[in-house]
Amino acid sequence: MATLNPYISFKTEAAEALEFYRSVLGGTVETTTFESMGDAMGPLDDATKKLVMHGSLTLDDGLVLMASDTPPGMDHIAPSAGVTVAMTSADMADQPRFADYFARLSEGGTVGMPFEQAPWGDHFGQFDDKFGVSWMFDVGDGESTGA
- The CATH code of domain 85-139 reads 3.10.180.10
State pTM to two decimals. 0.89
Q: Tell me how many degrees the CA angle 65-12-19 measures, rounded to the nearest 5.
A: 45
> How is the beta sheet containing 110-117 ordered, strand by strand?
85-89, 134-139, 123-128, 110-117
Type of residue numbered 124: F
CATH of the structural domain 7-69, one choice from 1.20.1300.10, 3.50.50.60, 3.40.470.10, 3.10.180.10? 3.10.180.10
Tens digits of residue pLDDT in 2-56:
788 999 999 999 999 999 999 999 999 999 998 887 776 677 888 888 999 999 9
Q: How high is the pLDDT of residue 76?
A: 82
For residue 82, give the DSSP letter: S
Q: How confident is the model at residue 147 (pLDDT cuts 50, 70, 90)?
A: very low
Tens digits of residue pLDDT in 98-137:
999 999 999 999 999 999 999 999 999 999 999 999 999 9
